């Protein structure tokens, strides 16, 4: 089979990703200033475009692209030559999960899961933001499934993945649940009421998630195998 070499400048790529995250963070700060100091709810579309807690805007696009990029890099790792079958399957599972997370981020599936849990369960004491409950369960199942794969990773890669996963789960589940407890008092009827505290909590949540994804992409890029089966690029012998 013909071979194809893929070389990505990890340091340069991560530098541009950090700059992109900083630009988005400053844009979110501008949006919060317009809303909470200037009393401008939309600001000619600026708030909607840049606010971390609004969906399907530039921060959402950035997160989706990071997840899709990480998924593609995981598929590239799955093509590592001479790797055991369970290692290749592990990378394929990781790629599939990351792609599913990208779809979830874009289509706001977790928001629909949250609404369905509240509507169908109607359990007393169910958190305001209930979607992290089934998602954390899925993460635990995934951890058990990938345990053997994880121990075959290079130590530097494994450490970075643990750090990135910890940061991501802290934001996506931990901060989300804390925010839900706050909103349960601020907006018990789910009318969309918000304030500066809520928006700052959303800023923290999204910042942690995007930081984790940048770390993940950088780790996957730094440890790319040197050669891949040409089938990845649709080439022929």
Query: Which residues share a beta bridge with 193?
Result: none
pLDDT digits (tens, 9 = 90+) for 33-66: 999 999 888 878 899 999 998 888 999 999 999 9
pLDDT for residue 190 is more than 70? no
Helices (H), the chain: 10-36, 46-50, 58-78, 85-107, 109-121, 132-145, 147-150, 155-169, 176-186, 196-222
* 13 is a domain residue: no
Residue 164: which domain range?
55-224
Q: With beta carbons less than 8 A apart as the criterion, state whether 5 and 226 touch.
A: yes
* 177 is a domain residue: yes
* 190 is a domain residue: yes
* 5 is a domain residue: no
For 216-237, letters b (16+ CB in 10 Å) and e give bbbbbbbebeeebeeeeeeeee
* 236 is a domain residue: no
* 62 is a domain residue: yes
Distance CA(107)–CA(99), nearest Å, equals: 12
* 6 is a domain residue: no
Within a 10 A sphere around the Cβ of 118, how many other Cβ atoms? 17
pLDDT for residue 194 is more than 90? no
Number of domains in the chain: 1
- The residue ranking higher by pLDDT, 187 or 23, is 23
* 117 is a domain residue: yes
Query: Which residues share a beta bridge with 229?
Result: 3
């Amino acid at each position: 089979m013909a071979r194809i070499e893929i070389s990505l400048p990890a340091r340069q790529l991560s530098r541009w990703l950090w700059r992109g995250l900083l630009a988005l963070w400053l844009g979110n700060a501008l949006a919060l200033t317009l809303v909470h100091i200037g009393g401008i709810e939309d600001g000619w579309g600026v708030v909607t475009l840049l606010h971390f807690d609004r969906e399907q805007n530039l921060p959402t696009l950035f997160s989706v692209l990071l997840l899709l990029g990480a998924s593609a890099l995981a598929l590239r790792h799955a093509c590592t030559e001479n790797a055991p079958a369970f290692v290749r399957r592990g990378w394929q599972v990781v790629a599939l999960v990351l792609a599913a997370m990208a779809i979830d981020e874009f289509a706001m599936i977790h928001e629909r899961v949250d609404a369905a849990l509240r509507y169908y369960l109607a359990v007393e004491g169910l958190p305001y933001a209930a979607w992290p409950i089934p998602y954390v369960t899925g993460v635990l199942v995934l951890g058990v499934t990938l345990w053997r794969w994880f121990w075959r990773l290079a130590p530097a890669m494994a450490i970075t993945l643990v750090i990135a996963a910890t940061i991501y789960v802290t934001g996506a589940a931990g901060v989300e649940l804390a925010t839900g407890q706050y909103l349960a008092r601020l907006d018990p009827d789910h009318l969309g009421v918000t304030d500066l505290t809520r928006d700052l909590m959303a800023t923290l949540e999204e910042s942690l998630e995007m930081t984790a994804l940048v770390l993940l992409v950088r780790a996957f890029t730094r440890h790319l195998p040197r050669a891949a089966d040409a089938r990845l690029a649709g080439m022929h012998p």
